[in-house]
Amino acid sequence: MTDSNPAPSLYKAREPIFPRRVSGKFRNLKWVIMAVTLGIYYITPWIRWDRGPSLPDQAVLLDLAHRRFYFFWIEIWPHEFYFVAGLLIMAGLGLFLFTSALGRVWCGYACPQTVWTDLFIKVERMIEGDRNARLRLHRQKKMDARKLRLRLTKWFAWLLIGLATGGAWVFYFADAPTLLRDLVTLNAHPIAYTTMALLTATTFFFGGFAREQICIYACPWPRIQAAMMDEDTITVAYREWRGEPRRHSPAAEAGAPQGDCIDCMACVNVCPVGIDIRDGQQLECITCALCIDACDDVMAKIGKPRGLVDYIALSDEEAERGGKPPRNIWSHILRPRTIMYTVLWAAVGFGLVFALFIRPEIEMTVAAVRNPTYVTLSDGSIRNTYDVRLRNKNNDPRQFRLFLKGDPTLRLQLEGTPYQVIDVPAEASRLQRVYVISPGASAPSEGDRTEFRFWLEDLTNGDRAYNDSIFNGRGS
């Protein structure tokens, strides 16, 4: 320690934050984004989508019991989970792109923690009043009837929001109208109630009490984003060269020409994470831009141009200090880094769409049974066994004919049926044991490995699929 002062306290109580109401274009944008994101979250499970009689008619449904994921016209089976992996990669790259271009724009506008905290603060303000009223209420030590009433009303409102949040979540995993009826009549599965209770509690606690503590201490993203940002990233900053020396500062008191900042603390009072943007870039800042709205408002009142606190790129500082205008915003955003992220993001996206289009309607996977590798039959012929899984992704039951191409001595036989046709019900998969037999004196029987190909034909429309496999002879 280079510090010679007495050791400071190792722990520090949270300082309550009472953000003041603010209006302006960024505030309006945030309201719109809140309405859209919450709207998507709450409404999506209720959208219906007709898939025929045998399938659920919910547009977005994670059917864990039947291992299907339905997304409008797309239906994902478990073996196609790579689509989900692809979407996660796209989400990651998208986050990189937006962070390198616009800083912590995700944190400031779209992160659920921000959106719900914003909503909770709005509710708090509607019930307890704006910053000064809330501060007074906070400082009032005595819990009188009024304070108790306000607190209880607020907590009740928060709990309702939390309940709606948890409630909406479970609808993604079951038929929403049925589940709602079951929930209300207390017939739903305990897991549904547990999930709702858990999400209600976490929403209530994170949105009402933890708030910025989650962003500062719990979330890894503020740490990671430092590597995503550079001096061309557009972020919320204070034009110190224009504002300083601020009013009341020692320099201004000493008679230096005063900057535009009148030290009215408007930017600090509206901040939901309780920082002073004039101190520069800080880990706590989620770039919600409310300080921009607050400062613009003040600048308008004192007749100064807007943008003392603004979205700027740090690389413009030198030009602006020299009195030159900042570079065009697009010249900051379009740089190799963001272009690379965009290209990667689009490539994964195109890949997924492409994979979606070439996805076959019939599928077959063949697992050769290698315990044992082959069986000798009483007439001396050699038999290999294969577990063939057939998937019928159609809405109706289908018949599939299985045959093989390869050495002419190889003969195919299905377990449990003398025919080579397999019935697969609609939207289902079926496991069929298949035998391939070669007579005792043939080349495949005497040899080591013989390659051949399983062919599958959909007898309804003639579609075909194939799978290569190996026949093991005595020499193997």
Pair of tokens at residue 181: 């009826």
Interacting span for other proteins (CB under 8 A) from 24-32, 173-181, 211-219, 454-462: 211-219
Interacting span for other proteins (CB under 8 A) from 60-68, 273-281, 328-336, 461-469: 273-281
Q: Is 16 in the site for other proteins (CB under 8 A)?
A: no
Among positions 242, 247, 383, 401, the unique one binding other proteins when judged by CB under 8 A = 383
Identify which of residues 61 and 290 has a Cβ nearer to other proteins in the complex.
290
Phi, psi at residue 393, to the nearest 5°? -95, 10
Identify which of residues 23 and 213 has a Cβ nearer to other proteins in the complex.
213
Query: Residues near 78 by Cβ (< 8 Å), separated by ≥ 6?
Result: 67
Contact at 8 Å (CB) between 443 and 419? no
Q: Which positions from 436 to 455 touch other proteins by CB under 8 A, shown as an x/- string?
A: ----x---------------
Chain-centroid distance of CA 194 in Å reads 22
Among positions 79, 122, 152, 284, the unique one binding other proteins when judged by CB under 8 A = 284
Q: What is the DSSP string of 43-99?
A: HGGG-B----TTS--BSEEEETTTTEEEETTEEE-GGGTHHHHHHHHHHHHHHHHHH
Least distance between other proteins and beta carbon 1 (Å):
5
Sign of CA dihedral 97, 99, 100, 103: positive
User: 56: number of CA atoms within 13 Å, CB side?
Assistant: 27
Interacting span for other proteins (CB under 8 A) from 9-17, 22-30, 288-296, 450-458: 9-17
Cis before 245? omega within 30: yes
Q: Is 328 in the site for other proteins (CB under 8 A)?
A: no
Name the strand (E) or helix (H) holding 205. helix 190-205
Q: Which positions from 335 to 374 touch other proteins by CB under 8 A, shown as an x/- string?
A: ----------------------------------x-xx--
Q: Which residue has the tokens 């906070």?
A: 138
- Type of residue numbered 111: C
Q: Is 421 in the site for other proteins (CB under 8 A)?
A: no
Among positions 378, 418, 419, 462, the unique one binding other proteins when judged by CB under 8 A = 378
Identify which of residues 3 and 144 has a Cβ nearer to other proteins in the complex.
3
Q: Is 274 in the site for other proteins (CB under 8 A)?
A: yes
Least distance between other proteins and beta carbon 376 (Å):
6
Q: Is 251 in the site for other proteins (CB under 8 A)?
A: no
Contact at 8 Å (CB) between 125 and 17? no
Question: Three-class SS of residue 408?
Answer: coil
Question: Which residues contact other proteins by CB under 8 A?
Answer: 1-3, 5, 8-15, 212-213, 216-217, 273-276, 279, 284, 369, 371-372, 375-380, 383, 385, 415-416, 433, 435, 440
